[in-house]
Amino acid sequence: MVRITALEREGKLGYPIIAINNAKTKHLFDNRYGTGQSTFDGILRATALLIAGKKVVVVGYGWVGKGVAKRASGLGAKVTVVEIDPIKALEAYLDGFEVMSIRDAAAGGEIFITCTGMKGVIPYSSIELMREGAILSNAGHFDVEIDTKTLLGKAKSVRPVRPNVDEVVLPDGKRVYLLAKGRIVNLVAAEGHPPEVMQMSFANQFMSALYVLQNHSSLVTRVLDVPVEIESQVALATLDSLGITIDRATKAQLKYAESWMI
């Protein structure tokens, strides 16, 4: 979305784009619950380690980071969150997690998971501070969240020790372990999200494509949100597939919600 929004801002967007990732029925579920679970699926397949008791550092507390931190906590890990956004940092703290800078978190962490969509969030200078055997993984973006270029360029040696696990020996002789070569661990070392959560994302994509087909002549050339009625349909259809029925607001309640009178 960052790239598409940049094209719009610079007047280079060629046609209307519906931002599926901005849909609540996408990021609240796919990003949070899907990535939260599949990230640990990938880490566990790659390492076969016990997560309970481990010191897990989650870099980024957006929806992906929230999901990863919650799953780590549920597995019994001691979770630290790294953030640059003061509001998200405060939210993580009030959710019960330690919050600190990556440099401060580096020495204590055992498993590091990036969840930001930004490059260089675990810089080489922080990797140098990590303990022997620290594990580096990425759940957010391309293979630039961890500074793998510097890490591998300065390594005394790099060797695979398990599928999707490379042992990297630093110049001082310390070993760290890079999962999936810094690529997205839940896709490289596992199978991605479960279909129960992906069905909502795919439904948004399909119904938004139909919406564009039916309304393209009236759409403006900019980044658009998924229409609210599509989001509601997707959520209701998902609830129905789970056998869940919810209440509907009455006419009196709808009228009350729009009135200034009590």
DSSP three-state, residue 54: coil
| Residue 129 to residue 143: CA distance in whole angstroms | 21
Query: Which residue shows structure tokens 């967007």?
Result: 13
Q: Are 199 and 187 in contact (CB under 8 A)?
A: no
**pLDDT reported for residue 214:** 95
Q: 249-258: long-range contacts at Cβ-Cβ below 8 A with a sequence spacing of 24 or more?
A: none
Provide the token pair at 114.
Answer: 């990036």
Q: Is the pTM of this model over 0.75?
A: yes
Q: What is the pLDDT along the chain (262 residues), one digit of tens a residue?
A: 778 889 989 999 999 999 999 999 999 999 999 999 999 999 999 999 999 999 999 999 999 999 999 999 999 999 999 999 999 999 999 999 999 999 999 999 999 999 999 999 999 999 999 999 999 999 999 999 999 999 999 999 999 999 999 999 999 999 999 999 999 999 999 999 999 999 999 999 999 999 999 999 999 999 999 999 999 999 999 999 999 999 999 999 999 999 998 7
Residue among 35, 34, 67, 26 nearest 200 (CA): 26
Residue among 21, 49, 27, 69 nearest 205 (CA): 21
**What residues contact residue 29 under an 8 Å CB cut-off, 6+ apart?**
197, 200, 201
For the beta carbon of residue 57, count every other beta carbon within 10 angstroms. Answer: 29
**What residues contact residue 196 under an 8 Å CB cut-off, 6+ apart?**
none
| Residue 246 to residue 192: CA distance in whole angstroms | 30
**pLDDT reported for residue 5:** 87
CB environment 71-81: b (16+ within 10 A), e (fewer):
bbbebebbbbb
What does the H/E/C string look like for 3-23? HHHHHHHCCCCCCCEEEHHHC
Set out the domains of the chain in order of their start, with CATH numbers: 2-19+195-257 (no CATH), 24-188 (3.40.50.720)
Which stretch of DSSP H or E encloses residue 72?
helix 63-74
Q: What is the chain's length? A: 262
Residue among 103, 100, 97 nearest 120 (CA): 103
75 CA to centre of own chain: 18
